[in-house]
Amino acid sequence: MSEAVVERVAAATPGPPRLEWQVATVVSVQQETPRARTLVLDVPQWPGHRAGQHVDVRLVAEDGYQAQRSYSIASAPAERTVALTVERLDDGEVSPYLCGVLQPADGVEVRGPIGGYFVWEVAQGGPLLLVAGGSGIVPLMAMLRHHARADVSARAAVPVRLLYSARTLDDVIYRAELEKLADPPQVEVVLTLTRDAPPAWSGYRRRVDRAMLEAVSWPSSAAPHVYVCGPTSLVESVATLLVDLGHEASRVRTERFGPTA
Amino acid sequence: MADQPFIARGFHSRRAAAPPGRLPPGQYETRDFPVLSAGPTPRTPLESWDFTIRGADGGQSSVRWSWDELQALPRETPTVDIHCVTKWSKFDTRWEGVSVDTLLDAALTAGVADGAFVLAFCDGGYTTNLPRADVTGGKAWVAFGYDGAPLAPEHGGPARLLVPHLYFWKSAKWVRGLQLLPSDEPGFWEQLGYHDRGDPWREQRYQGDP
Amino acid sequence: MQTEELRLDGNAAGGVLRQVFAEDVTAALATCAGCGTSGLVGSLLEYGHGMGIVLRCPKCDSAVLRIARARGRLHVDLSGVRLLTIPERVSLA
Ligand SMILES: Cc1cc2nc3c(=O)[nH]c(=O)nc-3n(C[C@H](O)[C@H](O)[C@H](O)COP(=O)(O)OP(=O)(O)OC[C@H]3O[C@@H](n4cnc5c(N)ncnc54)[C@H](O)[C@@H]3O)c2cc1C
């Protein structure tokens, strides 16, 4: 390919040349769990996104006070609206606003999509191992939704396993959708409940540990693409264990959410 | 930035009402003690910890105190308000430490070359610059106790600088010494546009603020 | 609250990095001037708060990139990065 052609193709890439703040409109809200809510946003100049990317949200009060946080995109790249799922931290500053105050038809300032590191596309192939803690499921859900929309042969070529750690069964975000994905098993979903499990619960009921990862993940020889997301402490312990189990550090991608537990 | 921020309906800053005259401009009161850090928490064992004052002769002259030697110096227990440039202030924080006067007097008596400015240096590579006059005269301490207990690592323990009349980034965590300097040299945040002095009552946040 | 619990991936800084660079650099390769290790900018460790952000080398903890916003200016310290290798944005379409 000649240089001129490369330039023309690059110039034709969609998306604004700079990342600007925009006022998105809340189209709808949906309570996912007692503590988590999905906001569906209409972003006027949305260039499309890749599974795993996030947006920055900025809140400005009347007296000029500002708060800014990042939120992963839950919706599949093919969708025209942008869905965020926010878990409410009671002593937090921004999440109670997004989970409570913000209503349909309200505006909210966002910029994005952001990040080219924690992204996955079907074309990258598999196997794909996803490990989530709490709201860390959100960008992984975008990957699962992207996978579910791929054509049958592409999908079949990429086996997917999700290990998802939540406090209780009620805290499992997207539970119905995950159950559907897991049956028929295009995706293997393994839950572990760290606080409270129903009496009949036969799954894991502890924090993610080495034995659990060894049981759930493919051996390092299968060279899975691994994405780990959630509270910083969980992400760091899981990533360290995976590297100890022989997975190449560069194949283990992480997205730390901070102290969200 | 040139863009006009959009006001978020129903979003309010958490400004608690504070007694008049106690909050510097633009600040709000917090009851928490937020952890702000530009790096991981260093963990230097007390046996190998020391505090050094280096002279303005490029550090050729210097004095150092081991942890035990520092502990043996006269202590003070200031109760002060602290003001972070990120806009929170916390009232009546109780500290324990050694006055910088005590340390500087000892250093100068020992022949350490004096200078008009200091650069505090820390484990983890953090630095911050201050006029010498702001760390003398009973205004600054090397603090190792907070609220009746040893200073926690996330708040700068084993020891941090405490200069409460300036924005709190000047109160360097994990401090290991002071470099006296003949002229001002910007520290970690000052290199990135923050003020060389940082007086919260004059809102000296950024370079160029009066 | 340990400071390690507050850290994020460099990927989280993608928004402000996109203000600085014409391309998304979270997928760019940065070589640490401190120890010579190369890694994706998105995999550096971000320590950020209201004053600014510091992206550190996960191997040696050196500050690779530092960014602060002050009085309508972004101050960007690149002295900790020896080399930045940025993939060109070439569309697959
Ligand atoms: C790339 C990225 C993507 C993310 N995606 C999502 C997502 O999809 N969904 C989601 O719910 N969250 C997500 N997060 C987390 C999100 O950005 C916020 O951190 C979260 O919503 C909490 O914000 P808050 O303002 O409510 O809480 P904060 O006010 O920030 O407080 C959070 C908690 O940490 C403590 N804390 C915070 N800062 C300090 C400090 N300096 N010192 C001491 N304690 C402190 C608080 O006490 C509180 O318990 C993401 C984060 C990143 C970086």
pLDDT, one tens digit per residue, over A132-174 is 999 999 999 999 999 999 998 888 899 999 999 999 999 999 9
The phi and psi torsions of C52 (rounded to 5 degrees) equal 160, -175
Residue bearing tokens 């390769």: C29
User: Is A174 among the domain residues?
Assistant: yes
C71·B193 Cβ contact <8 A: yes
Is the pLDDT reported for residue B89 higher than 50? yes
Atom of ligand 1 nearest to the CA of A89: 26
Nearest CA in chain C to B207: C70
* Residue C86 near chain A (CB below 8 Å): no
Residue located nearest, by CA, to atom 30 of ligand 1: A92
The number of distinct structural domains making up chain A is 2
A61·B7 Cβ contact <8 A: yes
- Condensed to tens digits (0 to 9), the pLDDT of residues B104-128 reads 999 999 999 999 999 999 999 999 9
Cβ(B185)–Cβ(B127) under 8 Å? no
Q: How far is B125 from chain A (nearest CA, A)?
A: 23
C49·B36 Cβ contact <8 A: yes
Instruction: Choose the final residue of a domain: A97, A114, A131.
Output: A114
Torsion of CA A173, A174, A180, A181, to 10 degrees: -90
* Residue C11 near chain A (CB below 8 Å): yes
Q: How far apart are CA A53 and CA A71, in angstroms?
A: 9
Q: Closest Cα partner for B181 from B140, B143, B128? A: B128
* Residue C42 near chain A (CB below 8 Å): yes
Cβ(B181)–Cβ(B190) under 8 Å? no
- ipTM of this complex prediction, to 2 decimal places: 0.92
In terms of domains, do A135 and A107 share one?
Answer: no
Q: How far apart are CA C72 and CA B197, in angstroms?
A: 20
User: Is A80 among the domain residues?
Assistant: yes
C5·A259 Cβ contact <8 A: yes
What confidence score (pLDDT) does residue A261 get? 56
What confidence score (pLDDT) does residue A5 get? 42
Is A59's C-beta closer than 6 angstroms to any atom of ligand 1? Answer: no
Is B86's C-beta closer than 6 angstroms to any atom of ligand 1? Answer: no
Residue located nearest, by CA, to atom 28 of ligand 1: A92
C1·A259 Cβ contact <8 A: yes
Chain B residue numbers touching A67 (CB-CB < 8 A) = 11
Residue located nearest, by CA, to atom 15 of ligand 1: A257
- Condensed to tens digits (0 to 9), the pLDDT of residues B42-56 reads 999 999 999 999 999
Residue located nearest, by CA, to atom 45 of ligand 1: B34
Is B35's C-beta closer than 6 angstroms to any atom of ligand 1? Answer: yes
Is the pLDDT reported for residue A71 higher than 50? yes
- As a whole number, mean pLDDT of residues A39-67 equals 95
Nearest CA in chain C to B42: C3
Domain that residue A148 falls in: 122-257
DSSP B140-195: -EEEEEETTEEPPGGGTTT-EEE-TTS-GGGS-TTEEEEEEESS----TTGGGTB-
Chains near A (3 or more Cβ pairs under 8 Å): B, C
User: Is A1 among the domain residues?
Assistant: no
In terms of domains, do A146 and A105 share one?
Answer: no
Residue located nearest, by CA, to atom 44 of ligand 1: B34
User: Is A15 among the domain residues?
Assistant: no
User: Is A11 among the domain residues?
Assistant: no
- As a whole number, mean pLDDT of residues A74-87 equals 96
User: Is A94 among the domain residues?
Assistant: yes
In terms of domains, do A128 and A252 share one?
Answer: yes
- Model confidence band, residue B18 (pLDDT cutoffs 50, 70, 90): confident
In terms of domains, do A32 and A94 share one?
Answer: yes
In terms of domains, do A103 and A153 share one?
Answer: no
- Condensed to tens digits (0 to 9), the pLDDT of residues B192-206 reads 999 999 999 999 999
Q: Closest Cα partner for A68 from B30, B126, C19, B83? A: C19
How many A-C residue pairs are in contact by the CB < 8 A criterion?
85
Assign residue A67 the CATH number of its domain.
2.40.30.10
* Residue B5 near chain C (CB below 8 Å): no
B154·C1 Cβ contact <8 A: yes
Chains near B (3 or more Cβ pairs under 8 Å): A, C
Is A69's C-beta closer than 6 angstroms to any atom of ligand 1? Answer: yes
In terms of domains, do A177 and A93 share one?
Answer: no
In terms of domains, do A52 and A179 share one?
Answer: no
Cβ(A197)–Cβ(A203) under 8 Å? yes
Instruction: Choose the final residue of a domain: A86, A114, A142.
Output: A114
CA of A187 to the centre of ligand 1 (A): 29
Assign residue A156 the CATH number of its domain.
3.40.50.80
Structural domains of chain B sorted by starting position, each given as residue range(s) with its CATH number in brackets: 48-193 (3.90.420.10)
Residue located nearest, by CA, to atom 9 of ligand 1: A86
Q: How far apart are CA C8 and CA C44, in angstroms?
A: 9
A255·C89 Cβ contact <8 A: no
Residue bearing tokens 């340390």: B103
Strand residue runs (E) in chain B: 28-29, 50-54, 62-66, 79-83, 88-99, 117-122, 127-131, 141-146, 149-150, 160-162, 175-181
* Residue A37 near chain C (CB below 8 Å): no
Strand residue runs (E) in chain A: 22-33, 36-42, 54-60, 66-72, 82-87, 107-114, 128-133, 160-166, 187-193, 225-230, 252-256
- Condensed to tens digits (0 to 9), the pLDDT of residues C4-58 reads 889 999 999 999 999 999 889 999 999 999 999 999 999 999 999 999 999 999 9
- As a whole number, mean pLDDT of residues B120-141 equals 98
In terms of domains, do A82 and A153 share one?
Answer: no
CA of A53 to the centre of ligand 1 (A): 17
Is A168's C-beta closer than 6 angstroms to any atom of ligand 1? Answer: no
Residue located nearest, by CA, to atom 10 of ligand 1: A86
Is the pLDDT reported for residue B2 higher than 50? no
User: Is A61 among the domain residues?
Assistant: yes
Is the pLDDT reported for residue A14 higher than 60? no
Among A54, A111, A116, the residue with its CB nearest the CB of C24 is A116
Atom of ligand 1 nearest to the CA of C11: 1
What confidence score (pLDDT) does residue C90 get? 57
